[in-house]
A and B are shown apart, each in its own frame.
Chain A
Amino acid sequence: MPADRADHPELRKALDALTGRFGNAVLAGAADKGELAVRLTKDVIVPALSFFKDELGFNAFEDLVVFDNLNSPDEGGARFTVVYRLFQFPGAARARLAVEVGEGESLPSAVPIYRAADWAEREAFDMFGVPFEGHPNLRRIYLPDDFEGHPLRKDFPLAGRTVGL
């Protein structure tokens, strides 16, 4: 997949290596302003993450963000977009790995690769109901275990569904 612009030569090379390795699984890619942004199919996310960690040197897991595309459909058209943010230290380069997940579909867990992903995945599960297969302890992290619904989904009302105490 060709990138639009590249001001970071290493990132450009990294993108080429990634495309070479995963081929058609890389749906889109760009290296811009110190950030390597790629969209992947969800079946290669775990090998891609270990490729980023072991071969490209993105040693730190920064964040895991989930977007609910209910009101503003993304390119893929799936319900959720899950974004992994990685950081390279030293080097100060970022990577943004996006995968699309439909409602009820699960993702493989990134915990075996990045231990820091543990709570982030629990948070995503709690807030959006995206399950992560192979997670060591996938339970709600913030809300009580008997809470119904996933509050950060766009169809969940702000004040909640049931009246509180």
Chain B
Amino acid sequence: MAFREIDLNMGPQHPSTHGVLRLKLAVDNEVVLRVEPVLGYLHRGMEKLWESLTYTQVVPLTDRLDYLASLSNNLAYCLAVEKLAGIEVPRRARYIRVILAELQRLASHLAWTGFMANDIGAMSVLLYGFEAREDILDIFEEYCGARLTVHGIRIGGAVHDLDGPLVSRIRAVLEKIPKRLADIRSLLDENRIWKERTVGIGRITAGEAIDYGLTGPPLRACGVAWDMRKEIPYSSYDDFDFDVPLGTNGDVYDRYLVRLEEICQSIRIVGQALDGLPEGEYKAKMPRVLKIAPAEVFHTIEAPKGVLGFTVRSNGTDKPERVKMKSPSFINLQSLEHMCKGNLFSDVIGILGSLDIVLGEIDK
């Protein structure tokens, strides 16, 4: 028996759209025929605003793009500006940046695990994920006083030096995380319902994924070893020994496994960076007012959500002519319709969750 096709509006206020995304769905009973994301409910005019601010004033606003991984945004922007201005960052500062960025990746992935599980209905995991994340936020709070919009990486280096007590605190937190991760995995990994909801759902092949511009864990879940930390190493990432976790099927379950494995790799990187933390300055000598001669650069990093890039063009003044962000969530979300077609309505939530989108960086 055929049901009438109905249009279903999901969002901009819906519990599982991770913010103010709106999805226009066409469903036949519960089978999804079309998905059209409608963006812009959080469009704050960031890029326009940046053109009226100095280079250093832009940094705190980058915190508010991907607010689950603010330090990664700081890092990407600062690296672009440093490349543009030719600032050489001291080695110690580069290590501190790696430590901060990897801790941020831990926090982001832990939060994702919680959100994802909550979307599927395992609400306890949300609480477990956030509890583990709180420990990392404590480190940020001790480091520079903020929890979420950290603003810890500045042009030329970092805000503060890493002192002894903080280093031992980071080590203590890193030791706790595998235990918490094991708790989460024991609830989900082999759970039949979890597997039924994730294995084989939202599949995309490696070729299609690259064609859609997919980056980050969803791409690596297809078996494509594209990680900017390995491809074009930045900020001394080539000093560290770590693996790029890969999936095989490109489905939601593999994205989950890839992210959990990345948590373990991040712990490894932070450990190595703490062990090998070189002596020296934690920030470069900077001019009081940063004026950059006309030029244009593009710099990318591997953010928790995928490849994050900044195009910065200078015009000789202390303000950028244009700053353009290439946000991973924006480009990852494009493949949603391809993954959702023909699946059930419940799967849309799972697939959307598995892409790990943050509306702050999609809408800018």
Report whether A116 and B39 are in contact in the complex, using a CB–CB cutoff of 8 Å.
no
Q: A62-B213, A67-B321, A152-B48 are in contact. Are A92 and B231 (CB under 8 A)?
A: yes
Report whether B213 and A116 are in contact in the complex, using a CB–CB cutoff of 8 Å.
yes
Chain A residue nearest in CB terms to B225: A90
A54 CB to nearest B CB, Å: 13
In this assembly, does B212 line the interface, its C-beta being within 8 Å of a C-beta of chain A?
A: yes
Partner of B315, one of A34, A71, A151, A158: A71
In this assembly, does A132 line the interface, its C-beta being within 8 Å of a C-beta of chain B?
A: no
A104 CB to nearest B CB, Å: 21
Partner of A141, one of B40, B231, B300, B322: B40
Q: A62-B326, A89-B226, A142-B363 are in contact. Are A115 and B47 (CB under 8 A)?
A: no
Q: In the complex, A158→B311 CA distance in Å?
A: 20
In this assembly, does B14 line the interface, its C-beta being within 8 Å of a C-beta of chain A?
A: no
**Which of chain B's residues 301-327 have a Cβ closer than 8 Å to chain A?**
307, 309, 311, 313, 315, 321-322, 324, 326
Report whether A142 and B43 are in contact in the complex, using a CB–CB cutoff of 8 Å.
yes
In this assembly, does A79 line the interface, its C-beta being within 8 Å of a C-beta of chain B?
A: no
Q: In the complex, A85→B324 CA distance in Å?
A: 12
In this assembly, does B57 line the interface, its C-beta being within 8 Å of a C-beta of chain A?
A: no
In this assembly, does B246 line the interface, its C-beta being within 8 Å of a C-beta of chain A?
A: no
B199 CB to nearest A CB, Å: 26
Number of A interface residues, CB 8 Å?
34
In this assembly, does B224 line the interface, its C-beta being within 8 Å of a C-beta of chain A?
A: yes
CB-defined contacts of A127 to chain B, threshold 8 Å? 47
Q: In the complex, A89→B311 CA distance in Å?
A: 20
Q: In the complex, A59→B214 CA distance in Å?
A: 12
In this assembly, does B210 line the interface, its C-beta being within 8 Å of a C-beta of chain A?
A: yes
Contact with A along B226-237 (1 / 0, CB 8 A): 100001100000
Q: In the complex, A116→B331 CA distance in Å?
A: 7
A132 CB to nearest B CB, Å: 15
Chain B residue nearest in CB terms to A119: B334
Chain A residue nearest in CB terms to B298: A85
Q: A59-B210, A115-B211 are in contact. Are A67 and B313 (CB under 8 A)?
A: yes
Report whether B213 and A61 are in contact in the complex, using a CB–CB cutoff of 8 Å.
yes
A123 CB to nearest B CB, Å: 8
Chain B residue nearest in CB terms to A63: B326
Q: In the complex, A40→B213 CA distance in Å?
A: 23
Which of B294, B311, B331 is the most central at the interface, judged by chain A CB atoms within 10 Å of its CB? Answer: B331
Q: In the complex, A127→B50 CA distance in Å?
A: 14
Report whether A63 and B226 are in contact in the complex, using a CB–CB cutoff of 8 Å.
no
CB-defined contacts of B9 to chain A, threshold 8 Å? none
Chain A residue nearest in CB terms to B207: A59
In this assembly, does B330 line the interface, its C-beta being within 8 Å of a C-beta of chain A?
A: yes
Report whether B298 and A142 are in contact in the complex, using a CB–CB cutoff of 8 Å.
no
Partner of B48, one of A60, A67, A158: A158
B84 CB to nearest A CB, Å: 13
Interface residues of chain A, those whose CB is within 8 Å of chain B, are 34-35, 59-63, 65, 67-68, 71-72, 83, 85, 89, 92, 94, 96, 114-116, 118-120, 127, 140-144, 151-152, 156, 158
Interface residues of chain B, those whose CB is within 8 Å of chain A, are 39-40, 43, 45, 47-49, 52, 210-213, 224, 226, 231-232, 294, 298, 300, 307, 309, 311, 313, 315, 321-322, 324, 326, 330-331, 334, 363-364
Closest 8 CB pairs of A and B: A116-B213, A142-B40, A142-B43, A63-B326, A92-B231, A65-B324, A65-B311, A72-B315
